[in-house]
Amino acid sequence: MVDIGLIVFGITGLLALTSLLPALAQRLKLPYSVLLALAGAALGLLVAARDAMPEGFMATDFLIALSSFHISSEAFLVIFLPTLLFETALAIDVRRMLNDVAPILLMAVVAVVVCMVVVGVTLASLTSYGLIACLMLGAMIATTDPAAVVGIFREIGAPQRLTMLVEGESLLNDAAAIALFGMLAGMMLGGQEAAWGGVAADFLVKFLGGAAIGGAMGLAVCYLFPLLKGFTTAEITLTVALAYLSFFVGEHYFHVSGVVACVAAGLVVGSLGRTRMSPRTHEQMEGAWGQLGFWANSLIFLLAAMLVPEIMQRTSWAEAGIILSVYIAALVARVIVVGGLLPLLTAIGIAEHVNNRMKVVVVWGGLRGAISLALALAVVEHPDASDSLRDFIATSVTGYVLMTLFINGTTLRLLIHWLKLDRLSVLDRGLRDRALSLAIEEIDQEVRAIGRREGLASAAIDMITTRYAMQLSHFRRLRAGRSDLMLDELLSVGLAMLSAQEEARYFKNFKDGIMPRRIAATLLNDSGRLREAARFRGRTGYAAAARQTLRHDWRMNLGIWLNHRLGIEWLLADSLAERFETLLNRRLVIGELLGFCRDRLTALLGEETAIEIRGLILERTRAIDEALTALRLQYPDFARELQSRYLGRIARQMETDRYEEWKERAIVGGEVAEALVHDRDQRWADLDKQGRIDVALSATELVERVPLFAKLEADKRASIARLLKPRMTLPGVPIVRRGQRGDAMYFIASGAAVVLIPGKPVELGSGEFFGELALLTGQPRNADVVSLGYCRLLALNSRDFLQLLAGDAELKRAIEAVAADRMQHYRGDARSEQNADRKVGR
């Protein structure tokens, strides 16, 4: 029985040691993982030599504590793995990952299989352990460890796409490699039959099943967040529970890959959590998970690396040869994937081009880490593993991981430097210079002002300001000269900055409680999409994405469909209200962006770029205003309600700020502050309720709005109302299409529609009708009719039409008169068009 006190002493001692290492790694310019491995190995040596140490000392006790750990692989995998995976998944920008999903999946899944096969076949031909054991080893070492590489990439400011590629790869390949390893280990040690077709199918089921279970659990948790009422500690706890539960539930109850489930859950919370959890929590959660991930990664490395000296001591020259073969085979496997398959994907158009220098770094940066070590431990401890197999796995995997850390890890930085990937591009350099000059100019003035205000000696002020002077004059010269940057590039950068600014403002409004959660989720998502579009497709991409954001979404279209076909109203009412509120919030923020463009972008990117960007902002404003006007005209009451709610939320936020300030300055005590907040909440309780638009269209009511019917007696009107079906239409959507067979005619109860006849289109307003010609003549429709705003129509199908006309001569005459006029008009137009055609000889 191990003394629990001793274990706590050992673990906390390790944590204390760990806390010193990041700073040391930075100083030595070594990747953190490399230093951890070194420290772990050194500890392992000390533990082995503990008998020679004097008794009774704290250090000796610490080593005894470490030696008494029995670290099972189970503990490695179950305790640390979910944390490591979930933390990486949380931090990933899912949208950006989706941009490069093909190469990432290729690197993740195919690269693991290629590595497994190349390493497995090589070893099987060199050793006598059999193909399955060798393939298993290949799978174990196929997992790349992102910590080292991504750390260096971030530090040197490597291209973001490269970082994304490597990070995404290492996240998903853990899942693939562990799933494959599990199956091979089952065959090897559990006596299962080897059936390759079965393995592939099984792998697929486990992978996709894991993604589905984890994704669903992640989604469920996102919907639980709002129920936790903003208790940050509770929300973070829920994410920790999710990491472990998704792993466990996937593995044990659904028999799918727990690793994939955990990753999927992390990705979902990472992408949706920002608007689902309380705004304050999100930042704190990132901190909390960063901490947990740091502990897990450090401990797993130290504990595994402590076993290294013992393993290496037993290593023979023959085994060293095997380690070298593994190293070479794994490198070859990576070259095959990165050099061969990646270009293939680019050629068939599903991946963007990755340049050769980046490819070299991706190949060389495939460091291996904690997960390979933990998997090796799982085999070493397995009761059914033979001694020779244990030695083979332990030595080769540990040796290989160390080689990647010490050879690739220590030289990666040099390689990146040598390939000049750490240099800023011309564009980035230009931007940095401008940003710097802007900052310096502002600071220079402020510093002088402070110096004068505080009455400091002018010599003292000069000593500081001369430091800037040289740089300032350099930048002034630079700015006076012609710009070395292309307008297209500047626009792309400027629009990406603008979108980031837009996103930040939405998030701030959400944080301040001015914008409701659902609206924030849509707007944040849209601005993220704008940013990516600007970055990859420049001005045209941005403009297209901006138009896209104003389209009616699938919910609205489904709402319309349900309303037409089944008379269901709630979805339409809901999505209309949501669209209204989204447009309003979007409009308010975009209005503010003009200021940002004027104040910041002009100085940073130059006049010409800023003017272009301003034009794009104005274009967006116009489009939004148009969409808003259409809604406002139809639902003026709701528009007022939205505006007042918006103002109310601002008032509530101001109140909150004031109370907080009073509390901070001790003007009011804790209890009074609490009472004030309580009072505020009560007063504003109705602010966060979801508004609804009344879309109920009663035929009886609408019939009264059509002058043709309004004159009729009440019971006649009621019988007509029974024949008419109310319909609502969205702006810009065709109601009737030219050439189609006519099955109904329409009366416009409110709104407007345009008839696209040759020549000049004709606009029809409230009370008018269309679609009667096809019913009267039996001919196809003679024009497109498009809804101009949110129209309320009354549809009359052809059978009821004939019945109605048969029973009401006056109505018949009125409709036929209009129709005859239109026919004439139409013929006249068609004839003059034919004449015109003849004249130009078409």
Task: Determine the Cα–Cα distance for residues 776 and 337; give it in Å rounded to an integer.
Answer: 68
Determine if 781 is a binding residue for ligand CMP (CB under 6 A): yes
Determine if 783 is a binding residue for ligand CMP (CB under 6 A): yes
Task: Determine the Cα–Cα distance for residues 379 and 390; give it in Å rounded to an integer.
Answer: 7
The alpha carbon of residue 92 and the mean position of all alpha carbons in its chain are separated, in whole angstroms, by: 8
What per-residue string of b and e applies to 426-447 under the rule 16 or more CB within 10 Å gives b?
Answer: eeeebbebbeebeebeeebeee
Judged by CB under 6 A, the residue of 772, 786, 788, 805 near ligand CMP is 772
Burial label for 511, CB within 10 Å (0-12, 13-18, 19+), is middle
Site for ligand CMP in 38-77 (CB under 6 A): none
* CB closer to ligand CMP, 683 vs 825: 825
Task: Determine the Cα–Cα distance for residues 578 and 635; give it in Å rounded to an integer.
Answer: 13
CB of 731 to ligand CMP, least distance (A): 18
Phi/psi at 747 (nearest 5 deg)?
-105, 135
Residue type, 194: A
Task: Determine the Cα–Cα distance for residues 147 and 31; give it in Å rounded to an integer.
Answer: 9
Judged by CB under 6 A, the residue of 81, 515, 560, 755 near ligand CMP is 755
* CB closer to ligand CMP, 634 vs 782: 782
Part in contact with ligand CMP (CB under 6 A); list of ranges 33-41, 104-112, 673-681, 768-776: 768-776
Residue type, 40: G
* CB closer to ligand CMP, 760 vs 838: 760
CB of 800 to ligand CMP, least distance (A): 15
Determine if 468 is a binding residue for ligand CMP (CB under 6 A): no
Judged by CB under 6 A, the residue of 35, 385, 495, 757 near ligand CMP is 757
Determine if 523 is a binding residue for ligand CMP (CB under 6 A): no
Determine if 734 is a binding residue for ligand CMP (CB under 6 A): no
Part in contact with ligand CMP (CB under 6 A); list of ranges 7-15, 61-69, 304-312, 782-790: 782-790
CB of 755 to ligand CMP, least distance (A): 4
Determine if 788 is a binding residue for ligand CMP (CB under 6 A): no
* CB closer to ligand CMP, 664 vs 763: 763
Part in contact with ligand CMP (CB under 6 A); list of ranges 378-386, 440-448, 474-482, 822-830: 822-830
CB of 837 to ligand CMP, least distance (A): 19
* CB closer to ligand CMP, 399 vs 742: 742
Site for ligand CMP in 735-754 (CB under 6 A): 736, 742
In sequence order, what are the beta bridge partners of 725?
A: 795
Burial label for 682, CB within 10 Å (0-12, 13-18, 19+), is exposed
Phi/psi at 342 (nearest 5 deg)?
-60, -45
Determine if 822 is a binding residue for ligand CMP (CB under 6 A): yes
CB of 794 to ligand CMP, least distance (A): 14
Determine if 793 is a binding residue for ligand CMP (CB under 6 A): no
CB of 732 to ligand CMP, least distance (A): 17
Part in contact with ligand CMP (CB under 6 A); list of ranges 116-124, 298-306, 373-381, 765-773: 765-773
Show the CA angle centred on residue 412, arms to residues 407 and 416, nearest 5°. 155
8 Å CB contact between 253 and 307: no
CB of 704 to ligand CMP, least distance (A): 22
Task: Determine the Cα–Cα distance for residues 246 and 226; give it in Å rounded to an integer.
Answer: 20
Task: Determine the Cα–Cα distance for residues 817 and 70; give it in Å rounded to an integer.
Answer: 96
Contacts of 649 (CB under 8 A, 6+ apart): 512, 513, 514, 515, 684, 687
Show the CA angle centred on residue 673, arms to residues 669 and 679, nearest 5°. 150
Tokens at residue 672, please?
């009074």
* CB closer to ligand CMP, 61 vs 743: 743
CB of 825 to ligand CMP, least distance (A): 4
Determine if 805 is a binding residue for ligand CMP (CB under 6 A): no
Binding site residues, ligand CMP, CB under 6 A: 736, 742, 755, 757, 762, 770-774, 781-783, 785, 822, 825-826
